[in-house]
Amino acid sequence: QVQLVESGGGLVQTGGSLNLSCVNSRRTFSAYAMGWFRQAPGKEREFVAAFSWSFGITEYAHFAKGRFTISRVPAEDADAVNLQMNSLKPEDTGVYYCAAADGDPGYELGSAHQYTYWGQGTEVTVSS
């Protein structure tokens, strides 16, 4: 069974930082891409950032550029990405979900339907 393990969420003040981590054990599949989406209370899930193994590219939502950095974590038997979030704002509050694609998403990294597997989510709260 595929399992994406997320960690790193929490409560932080405005301007603070958090580092989210997501690990996919390759026991079941090797990801073509991994990314992060978020869902704020009362809003739809939206794309944050993603990394493509097949193209070696990263993509960010407009609100994440300059503040968030997604990076691949080298591992022999797992696919893993971190999301470093700096200069956090109250509007960044929400549940952050890790997602993994078992097929090549091409350049559509921001499309949720490209991702097959999803984590349980980790909550991020930014206080004002």
Question: Exposed e or buried b for every residue in 109-119, given b needs 16+ CB within 10 A?
Answer: bbeeebbebbb
Tens digit of pLDDT for each residue in 74-93? 777 788 899 999 999 999 99
Question: What are 30's two structure tokens?
Answer: 């090797």
What is the mean predicted confidence (pLDDT) over 29-43? Answer: 91
Tens digit of pLDDT for each residue in 45-80? 999 999 998 788 899 999 999 999 999 887 777 888
